């Protein structure tokens, strides 16, 4: 086998310019720390309540708007604390105003996205306004159908940078006389690879004295970081856990969700089932439907055999088009047949429609747009690679690639991996599928090369 031709590194977010502003963000500060800071400034204890009101109950967007505080105190606070960690936000409406996509620029120039979605009430459900937030700038997992995956990993977000996306949305909604009802961690990044900050942000968002959302109104989505799921289960939270499944069979999931090479699908589902048992919460599964790739009846059967009897719910989501893939969304009949097969196995299914396609509402698309269109030959090579890799995956061949750098050690292909299906061990071994530019999710500095030594497994 010849080596695959080298592929230029993926695009990345527009180069982050400035140094990061190291002042803590008010939105991530614990009440006690705020009180401590005000005491240091010689302020009476009731000031903490005034500042908290400005942060959590008012329309103020910066220290200058907090007119309940004297100007010198505002200046002293501004020296130590950022009122808002988002430097600039651009909002684009879509779906006749039912969807609003926001692109946030952080202090060092990184771009992250949040999406507000309004769902009108009906006979059987209440009106909802859901915010989809980002937990990282970019993502190390590198799912090929995802615009964020293509950008690669830039950095973890701080607690305040996560919370401030919600504060922004709340201010925009309040100005229109509406309120935020739900938050989903389904924007850019893998929340369970920035779990400390995500847990703290969820605590702020559900604290009645701060953001004040009901814990049951928060959903955290993961592509399958098993130690993170186990850690969440031990906390017994009231949030909903969503698993991005996208394939029930390892060869295909190795390609669609490269983290599967570290934590195979059966381990992910076992951890999610344990989470459901320990927390009493129903786990939901996201399944992006890609035409001719993961949408056959055999795929539905593989999902059914994993989830049967677990009480889980599957959301089928037609793939949003992403420029660098040769793939498109499954058609409505295929999605319906897939959903019907799952229902026949006793599994609850919702077929979701895409929101805000005209503003690139699939996670990471707006930031990818800002990064500029990749050159046509680069796109063509990526597409070719995906065609070859998906053909191998559909033949049942497991990827010999290591998991994305920074997310854990390769489990090593199971015995018989790479064999043609049905052939006995050691016979008819087929070559491993070619690399799809594997370091797609690698930090910028590491892109373009395979790590020489497997990275240490992340601690729990």
Interface pick for ligand SAH out of 363, 366, 407, 442 (rule CB under 6 A):
363
Based on the residue annotation, tell me whether 316 is a catalytic residue of this protein: no
Contacts of 107 (CB under 8 A, 6+ apart): 18, 20, 21, 82, 85, 87
Q: Which is nearer to ligand SF4, 110 or 148 (CB)?
A: 148
Q: Which residue is nearest to ligand SF4 (CB)?
A: 149
Angle, CA 445 vertex, CA 443 and CA 450 arms, to 5°:
75
Interface pick for ligand SF4 out of 363, 366, 389, 407 (rule CB under 6 A):
363
CA proximity to 131, closest of 112, 154, 151: 112
Q: Looking only at residues 67 through 106 of this chain, which bind ligand SF4 when binding is defined by CB under 6 A?
A: none
Residue 363 Cβ, how far from ligand SAH at the closest point, in Å?
5
Interface pick for ligand SF4 out of 154, 156, 190, 397 (rule CB under 6 A):
190
Query: Residue 318 interacts with ligand SF4 (CB under 6 A)?
Result: no
**Do residues 281 and 315 make contact, with C-beta atoms less than 8 angstroms apart?**
no
Q: Which is nearer to ligand SF4, 77 or 442 (CB)?
A: 442
Q: Which is nearer to ligand SAH, 145 or 153 (CB)?
A: 145
- Output phi, psi for 94, to 5 deg: -150, 180
Interface pick for ligand SF4 out of 223, 260, 284, 365 (rule CB under 6 A):
223
Q: Which two tokens stand for residue 210?
A: 């701060």
Query: Residue 223 interacts with ligand SAH (CB under 6 A)?
Result: yes
Which residues, listed in sequence order, are joined to residue 25 by a DSSP beta bridge? 82
Region from 140-148, 156-164, 273-281, 300-308 binding ligand SF4, contact rule CB under 6 A: 140-148
Q: Which is nearer to ligand SAH, 24 or 403 (CB)?
A: 403
Query: Residue 299 interacts with ligand SF4 (CB under 6 A)?
Result: no
Interface pick for ligand SAH out of 12, 129, 130, 244 (rule CB under 6 A):
244
Q: Which two tokens stand for residue 232?
A: 């969440």
Q: Looking only at residues 240 through 259 of this chain, which bind ligand SF4 when binding is defined by CB under 6 A?
A: 244
d(CA 65, CA 256): 46
Q: Considering 100, 113, 161, 437, which one is annotated as catalytic? A: 113
Q: Which two tokens stand for residue 202?
A: 């969820």
Based on the residue annotation, tell me whether 267 is a catalytic residue of this protein: no
Q: Which is nearer to ligand SAH, 76 or 283 (CB)?
A: 283
* 317: partner contacted, choices ligand SAH, ligand SF4, none (Cβ within 5-8 A by kind): ligand SAH
Q: Looking only at residues 252 through 311 of this chain, which bind ligand SAH when binding is defined by CB under 6 A?
A: 286, 288
Q: Considering 363, 397, 401, 437, which one is annotated as catalytic? A: 363
CA proximity to 287, closest of 312, 318, 262: 318
Residues of this chain that interact with ligand SF4 (CB under 6 A) are: 139, 141-143, 146, 148-149, 188-190, 223, 244, 363
Residues of this chain that interact with ligand SAH (CB under 6 A) are: 139, 145-146, 186, 190, 221-223, 244, 286, 288, 317, 319-320, 322, 362-363
* Catalytic machinery residues: 113, 363
């Amino acid at each position: 086998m010849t080596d695959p031709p080298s592929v230029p590194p993926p695009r990345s977010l527009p180069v982050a310019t400035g140094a990061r502003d190291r002042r803590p963000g008010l939105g991530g500060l614990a009440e006690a720390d705020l009180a401590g800071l005000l005491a240091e400034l010689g302020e009476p204890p009731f000031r903490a309540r005034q500042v908290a009101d400005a942060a959590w109950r008012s329309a103020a967007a910066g220290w200058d708007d907090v007119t309940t505080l004297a100007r010198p105190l505002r200046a002293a606070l501004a020296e130590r604390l950022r009122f808002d960690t988002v430097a600039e936000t651009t909002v684009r409406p879509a779906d006749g105003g039912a969807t609003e996509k926001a692109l946030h620029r952080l202090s060092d120039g990184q771009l992250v996205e949040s999406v507000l979605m309004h769902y009108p009430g009906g006979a059987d459900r209440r009106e909802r306004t859901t915010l989809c937030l980002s937990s990282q700038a970019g993502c190390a997992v590198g799912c090929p159908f995802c615009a964020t995956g293509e950008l690669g990993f830039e950095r973890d977000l701080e607690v305040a940078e996560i919370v401030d996306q919600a504060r922004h949305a709340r201010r925009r909604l309040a100005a229109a006389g509406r309120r935020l009802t739900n938050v989903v961690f389904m924007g850019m990044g893998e929340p369970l690879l920035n779990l400390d900050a995500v847990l703290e942000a969820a605590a702020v968002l559900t604290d009645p004295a701060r953001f004040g959302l009901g814990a049951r109104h928060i959903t955290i989505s993961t592509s399958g970081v098993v130690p993170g799921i186990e850690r969440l289960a031990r906390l017994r939270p009231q949030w909903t856990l969503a698993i991005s499944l996208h394939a029930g069979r390892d060869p295909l999931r190795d390609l669609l969700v490269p983290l599967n090479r570290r934590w195979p699908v059966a381990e992910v589902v076992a951890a999610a089932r344990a989470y459901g048992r320990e927390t009493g919460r129903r786990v939901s599964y996201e399944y992006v439907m890609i035409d001719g790739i993961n949408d056959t009846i055999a795929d539905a059967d593989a999902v059914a055999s994993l989830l049967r009897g677990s009480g889980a719910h599957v959301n089928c989501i037609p793939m949003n088009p992403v420029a660098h893939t040769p793939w498109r969304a499954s058609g409505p009949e295929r999605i319906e047949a897939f959903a019907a097969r799952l229902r026949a196995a006793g599994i609850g299914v919702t077929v979701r429609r895409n929101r805000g396609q005209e503003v690139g509402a699939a996670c990471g698309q707006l930031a990818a747009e800002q990064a500029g269109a990749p050159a046509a030959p680069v796109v063509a090579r990526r597409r070719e690679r995906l065609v070859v890799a998906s053909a191998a995956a559909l033949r049942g061949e497991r990827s010999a690639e290591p998991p994305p750098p920074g997310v854990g050690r390769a489990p090593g292909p199971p015995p018989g991996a790479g064999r043609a299906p049905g052939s006995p061990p050691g016979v008819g071994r087929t070559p491993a599928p070619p690399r799809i530019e594997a370091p797609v999710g690698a930090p910028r500095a590491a892109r373009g090369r395979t790590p020489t030594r497997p990275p240490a497994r992340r601690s729990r």
